[in-house]
Structure 1
Amino acid sequence: MLKYTVLVLLIGIPKLLLQAQMSYEAIFVSVTSEENSKPFDLSNLRLIGRERILNGTFEILEDLDDEHFQISVEIYTNPARDGNYKLLPMSVPRQGVCTFFKKYGFYFRDCIKNGINTDLFLNTTSCLFPKGHYYLKNVTINVQNWPKIMQRGLCRHIAFFYKNNVPMGSYNLTSSIEDRAPNFNLRPL
């Protein structure tokens, strides 16, 4: 009986932890770029409604590959929401855009899906983000793959792009992280 109980616990607890709903949720606050930033033009993206849903079109101005294009990311937090952002001790060092997407793409894959809310197709066998115009429709932040514990408040990710080691520009994504509203399932007596 003890062996059966241990087996159930070893199988059941990890499964429950993986299926557990996160204790927080996140919404977009802003998506901006430095003036004349490349390789993206995000000027036609908008945040709609209270839910701050991302909609619009964007353009990839050049074919992006690992050989010529690199990205690095700095992460800042502002729990007081007073504009006083502090750099977190975690960041993403400069690396090829494809390498970055392979390592960290799972944060985006649940938010942006080809054929559902974008027409950007990412080929996983050969690395290339093709030049062109693309749309985003009703994109929200899915935190299911995020760390279990996140500091509440504003979180700012600043991505810096480089072409052949020359800076091209930066893009800023700010989100608001809040406790998830309790969901009480009240049943009639």
Structure 2
Amino acid sequence: MLTFIVFVFLMVIPKALFQIPMSYEANFVSIAGAPNSLPFDMTQLRLIGRERVLNGTFKILEDFDDEHYKFAVDIYTNSARDGNFKLMPLAMPSQGVCTMFKKHGDYLRDSVKHGINTDLYINTTACVFPKGTYYLKNVTINVKRWPTIMPRGHCRHVGKFYKDGVYVGSYNITSSIEDRIPTFFGS
């Protein structure tokens, strides 16, 4: 009997939770990089329309990989949307960029897809992000793989890059997290 209960908790319940639609949705508020940040130039990216859809081109200024580049992310929240962000107890510690992408790339894979809304291909076996100019077209935030519970309001992800142990730049992505308007009968 105990084996059956453990089976239900480990197999059935998590699978059922993944089938429940998220109770929230997210939209871009802003995307910015610190001046002269490496390894990206994101000055040609824009948020378009009320839906705040991400469009434009970005440059990878030099090839980067796990050997030389490390990446860390701090996450801040601002429920009142008054600019007073508080550091959340969630963070991604400094790791190689490829290691980070392999571990946490699922948060982006549903939003940014090679051949659909970007021409950047990331080879996950011989991971190198190649130097070049790439496009993003009609990118929206898909929260399918995000945590089931997120605080409402503004959420800011601050990504910091380090090259050979030296800080070289940071990038901020701020999103707005709202309750999803329920749809009934597929409408």
Q: Report the TM-score when normalising by structure 1.
A: 0.90
Could you say what secondary structure the match of 2:56 adopts?
strand
Offset, 1:14: 4.4
Counterpart in the other structure of 2:141: 141
Query: In the alignment, which residue of structure 2 is the partner of 1:39?
Result: 39
Unpaired runs of at least 5, structure 2:
1-6
Q: Could you say which residue in structure 2 is the equivalent of 1:168?
A: 168
Q: Give the corresponding residue for 1:94.
A: 94
What is the distance in 2 between the residues matched to 1:98 and 1:145? 19
Taking a change above 3 Å as real, the CA distance of residues 72 and 186 of structure 1, as seen in their structure-2 partners, is closer
The answer as to whether partners of 2:98 and 2:124 remain within 8 angstroms in 1 is no
Q: Which residue in the other structure is 1:51 paired with? A: 51
TM superposition shift of 1:185? 2.7
| Structure with max Cα Rg | 1
Q: Which residue of 1 aligns with 2:60?
A: 60
Q: Secondary structure at the match of 2:28?
A: strand
How big is the alpha-carbon RMSD for the aligned residues of Structure 1 and Structure 2?
Answer: 1.9
Alpha-carbon distance in structure 1 between the residues aligned to 2:19 and 2:121: 28
**Residue 128 of structure 1 aligns with which residue?**
128
Q: 2:185 maps to what in 1?
A: 185
Q: Which amino acid aligns with 1:48?
A: I
Identity of aligned residues (%): 65
Offset of residue 13 of structure 1:
5.0
Q: Equivalent residue of 2:76, what SS?
A: strand
- Tell me the secondary structure at the aligned position of residue 70 of structure 1: strand
Cα offsets for 1:31-55 (capped at 9, x unmatched)? 0011111100000000011111100
Structure 1 unaligned spans of 5+: 1-6
Aligned-pair CA distance for 1:16: 3.3
- Could you tell me which residue of structure 1 aligns to residue 23 of structure 2? 23
Please report how far the alpha carbon of residue 95 of structure 1 lies from its aligned counterpart in structure 2 after TM superposition: 1.0
Q: Which runs of 4+ in 1 moved over 3 A?
A: 7-16
Q: Partner amino acid for 1:42?
A: M
**1:118-175 superposed Cα distances (whole Å, 9 cap, x missing partner):** 0000112101000000000010000010111110000000011111111111100000
Deviation per residue, 1:8-43 (Å, 9 max, x gap)? 999765443212110000000000011111100000
Q: In 1, Cα distance between the equivalents of 2:18 and 2:167?
A: 39
C-alpha separation between the residues in 1 aligned to 2:38 and 2:9? Answer: 51
Question: Alpha carbons of 1:129 and 1:12: their partners in 2 closer, same or farther (altered >3 Å)?
Answer: same
Q: Which amino acid aligns with 1:95?
A: Q
Output the CA distance in 2 between the equivalents of 1:14 and 1:88.
Answer: 25
Any idea what SS the aligned residue of 1:73 has? strand
**Structure 2 CA distance for aligned equivalents of residues 8 and 167 of structure 1:** 46
Q: TM-score scaled by structure 2? A: 0.91
